[in-house]
Amino acid sequence: MRALLVTAAGLAALAAAQPSAQVTYERIANSEREPQNWITYSGNYQSHRFSPLTEITRANVAKLKPAWVYQVRRTGIVETSPIVADGVMYITEPPSTVTALDAHTGRPLWTYTPAIPTDVIVIGSPPVNRGVAILGDTVFFGTVHGHLIALDAKSGAVRWDTVVDDNKLGHYLTNAPLALADRIIVGVSGAEAGIRGFLDAYDPKSGKRVWRTYTVPTPGEPGAQTWGGESWKNGGGSSWLTGSYDPALNLVYWGTGNPGPDWNGDVRPGDNLYTCSLLALSPVDGRIKWHFQFTPHDVHDWDSNEIPILFDATVNGRARKLVAMANRNAFYYVLDRETGEFLSGTPYAKQTWAEGLDAKGRPRLKPGTDPSLEGTLVFPNIQGASNWPSPSFSPATKLFYQPAREMGTYYYKGESKYKAGEPFVAGGGRAVNGDEAWGAVRAIEAATGKMKWEFKLLSPPWSGLLSTAGGLVFGGTEEGNFFALDAENGTPLWDLQLGGAVKANPIAFGVDGKEYIAIAAGYAIFVFGL
């Protein structure tokens, strides 16, 4: 293991050494060497959302207090996960604004808002944005009107503005792009409008598309036999959350979403590849090296876009390169990330739809769990046992920290006729919410799926988690609490009411040799330090 513990003095030296350096691919690939920066969506390419900073610890976290607060310019749900590079924080504001802040004070340095048409089509989620990517001296982000835009990191000036796909058909972007050596990878939303999903790669300099890999095959391609009739044309399979990358294997890992329409699978008989799957792709040409489908022929809207976390461990006596995902369908999966081989799948939240998984990881379905005209009660609920809020993996504890959602839904089946740019969902649900639903932070042994501890939450959470080398796990609640737990046993050590629901992912960064934790809540970004 690399030396992950960095002293405050060392941190200051690092900060001084790179005051205005460009954020190169090499820096991102070795992000643990500069823990004062948070230069890719999940902190590193392995998506650990783990900070090696050690100033804030179990012993002193009780003294944590606000350092600064930044209020966003217009109301909306703030789901941003900040990027911090060399003293500048880059955030996104709803729906598609990028703002650069002085990381010392929260004072804005520049802000950019594209012209979003008033008739923009956003079907399937609120009009949100989860963050930017940075590479060189350029910041990249997606918009609700379906553009990928590159901005000068110093001024916010537009370097290029590329239409990913037609918003009139329901394509829109909420995910932070993933910046690799010479590729900007970005996914798309829109399955609820009946798009045919894809994952794209763009040239960082020109904005020209290098490749597109559709997540739903056309007739004649592998997997096409898993779609009845012409259902593939509106088959969904969005790619709406940021994936992970293994530099050594040179593979990108990216989850795919639900098939369309969501709750009536009669019109799309078959497994509906590659929806609700994890894809391992070459960043060079976008070719799919392997795929693993978590929920074949999904009829509950259980996208598999959740963050895939990469780590290495010994499984059954053999050293393995692994990828793990706490899937929306309530199973925690461990796969071999070189081959896609299924190694284990364990429920991490209440589920009532599967007897279990077979030797290849395919669910053995319980009868009577499909949506129906009269409503079918199934756990997890429509938004799933997990969703976009990020899990965290600590190399120190080897635990996978998951914000788990305990909630059921009565699933109803309806009918939808496809019409371009309009809802294509065919049903819905009646949530079992309030006192009958709850949530938890769960610590799962990453290699085995065994639960080690949990910290209960009043409501199913929409906040991601951050773990740190200070032995802490940070998270938030729907009721507006931001809190720190002991990473070893889940004991609550600090909490503060922020006055608005936390629907974002925390990060850690450093300026002037001090460690800070940042989280969005309500209509603001909060930064805490000792």
Partner 1 sequence: MILPLVLALTVQSAPASGRAIQEGKKLFDGMCARCHGIDGTGDEGPALNRATLARAASDDALRDVIRDGIPERGMPRVRRLSDGELAQLVAYVRSLGRAGGPPARGDAERGRAVYARLGCASCHIVEGQGSSFGPDLTEIGIQRGAGYLKQSVIGPGETLPRGLSQVPGRGFAEYLPVQIVTSDGRTIRGVRINEDPFTIQLRDTNNQFHSYRKSELKQLEKEFGKSVMPGFRGRVTDTELDDLVAYLSTLRGVK
Smallest distance from the beta carbon of 435 to partner 1, in angstroms? 5
Other beta carbons within 10 Å of 288: 20
CB of 414 to partner 1, least distance (A): 4
Name the maximum alpha-carbon separation found in the chain.
64
Q: Which C-beta is closer to partner 1: that of 25 or that of 418?
A: 418
Cα atoms found within 13 Å of the Cα of residue 188, Cβ hemisphere only: 31
Tokens found for residue 181: 């050596």
**Distance between CA 354 and CA 113 in Å, rounded?**
45
Round to whole Å and give the CA distance between 192 and 347.
Answer: 27
Q: What are phi and psi of 520, to 5 degrees?
A: -90, 140
Residues binding partner 1 (CB under 8 A): 74-76, 94-95, 118-123, 125-128, 192, 262, 301, 375, 377, 379, 382-383, 408-410, 412, 414-417, 419, 422-423, 425-437, 456-459, 477-481, 483, 492, 495, 497
Question: Cβ 434 to partner 1, closest distance in Å?
Answer: 3
Judge whether 301 counts as a catalytic residue: yes
Structure tokens at 510: 């450093």
Residues 190 and 123: beta-carbon distance below 8 Å: yes
Return the number of the residue (417 or 450) whose C-beta is nearest partner 1.
417
- How do strand 363-365 and strand 354-357 relate by DSSP bridges? antiparallel
Q: What are the structure tokens assigned to 74, written together?
A: 């217009």
Residue closer to partner 1, measured from CB, 102 or 454: 454
Residue (52 or 347) nearer to partner 1, CB: 347
Of 204 and 237, nearer to partner 1 (C-beta) is 237
User: Which CB, 45 or 388, lies closer to partner 1?
Assistant: 388
Catalytic residue among 165, 301, 303, 370: 301
C-alpha atoms less than 13 angstroms from C-alpha of 43 in its C-beta half-sphere: 31
Peptide bond into 395 cis (omega under 30): no
CB of 40 to partner 1, least distance (A): 27
Closest CA to 139 of 149, 147, 130: 149
Query: Which residues lie across from 474 on neighbouring strands?
Result: 466, 484
* Shortest spacing between CB 265 and partner 1, in angstroms: 15
Give the β-pairing of 178-179 and 184-187. antiparallel
Which residue do the tokens 């080897």 mark?
A: 398
Q: Cis (ω within 30 of 0) for the bond into 274?
A: yes
Q: How far is the CB of 164 from partner 1 (least distance, A)?
A: 19
CB-based contact 302:276 (threshold 8 Å): yes
Which residues are marked as active site?
301
